[in-house]
Structure 1
Amino acid sequence: MDKLRIDKWLWAARFYKTRSLAVQEINKGRIVVNGQTAKPAREVATGDTVVVRKEDPAIIITVKGISNIRGPAPKARELYEETAESIAAREKAAEMRRLAPEPSIDLRMGRPTKRDRRDLSRFRGK
């Protein structure tokens, strides 16, 4: 088998849990094949470049194999190869997330206590 619909291939390669989820993402324009926005019936072949915008940054892969059967994850991983640029971009994004400060670190949850109100009154000049 040398060509297969992109929705079936994404499902077989385990990018999406169901074909209907793959079709929804394709219809949202999140899948690009060889530089063109894909439609669900678009066929992919070995050697095609596919961009999957499932998360940030996008995953850029090269199709290495075609299968219309959803097999185990190690077999599905053999259907594609992620490009070096994509791997580097994802590692950099993971590092940036790791180094970023916790967004809620300065927020206090709940109502201020009597002590909090007393401490604040000193700063307000009361």
Structure 2
Amino acid sequence: MRVDKYLWCVRYYKTRNMVTEACKKNHVTVNGQVAKPAKEVFPGDVVTFRKDQITYTLTVLDIPENRVGAKLVDIYRKDQTPESAFEHLELLKISKMHYRKTGDGRPTKKDRRDLYDFTEEIDFEDL
């Protein structure tokens, strides 16, 4: 099965076109080699791809006939992505929410001045 169809079938991407774009940007590798969308995958292959600032690593266990339901995905792949990658993503989300709420728009002049004052208090050369 083609790598673009496989990643679409096991529900990592919403459309095959999204997988194709990821392959063209060299975000998908099969067994350590950069993969084009038409690269064939077989059981036992290791597929690594980058999506949403996380590098996923999965082992192909079996080839599905069609796109499978979310509950059946584990039959066809073994996810070997380290938990630290997901923790890092959560940390990024929390750090973004800390300063401004979503939808507040651009920072005001007061926000910019507060940030400048805060960074002036920290002496980065001592770190």
Instruction: Give the TM-score normalised by the residue count of structure 2.
Output: 0.69
Residue 104 of structure 1 is matched in structure 2 by: 100
State the match for 2:113 in structure 1: none
SS at 1:59 equivalent: strand
* Aligned equivalents of 1:20, 1:94: Cα separation in 2: 25
TM-score by length of 1: 0.70
| Greater RCO, 1 or 2 (C-alpha within 8 Å, sep 6+) | 1
SS of equivalent residue, structure 1 residue 43: coil
Q: Kindly provide the amino acid, as one letter, of the partner of residue 89 in structure 1.
A: S
Where does residue 37 of structure 2 map in the other structure?
40
Q: Residue 78 of structure 1: which of 75, 78, 81 is its match? A: 75
What is residue 87 of structure 1 aligned with on the other side? 82
SS state at 2:63 partner: coil
Q: How far did residue 14 of structure 1 move?
A: 0.7
The one-letter amino acid paired with 1:34 is: N
Structure showing greater radius of gyration is 1
State the one-letter code of the partner of 2:100. S
Equivalent position SS for 1:45: coil
Structure 2 gap ranges (5+): 111-127
Distance in 2 separating the partners of 1:18 and 1:98: 25
* Structure 1 residue runs without a partner (length 5+): 112-126
Query: Measured at CA, do residues 67 and 110 of structure 1 come closer, stay the same or move farther in structure 2, by a change above 3 Å?
Result: same
For the residue of structure 1 that corresponds to 2:8, the secondary structure is helix
Alignment of 1:10-89 (within 5 A): 10-83=7-80, 86-89=81-84
Instruction: Identify if the C-alpha distance between structure 1 residues 98 and 23 changes in structure 2 by more than 3 Å, giving closer, same or farther.
Output: closer
Deviation of the 1:99 alpha carbon? 5.8
| Deviations, residues 11-63 of structure 1 (Å, cap 9, x unaligned) | 11111112122111111111111101101110111111111201223111111
CA contact (8 A) 1:32 1:51 kept: yes
Contact 2:7/2:19 (8 A) holds in 1: yes
Structure 2 contact 28–48 (Cα < 8 Å) conserved? yes
CA RMSD in angstroms, aligned pairs only: 2.5
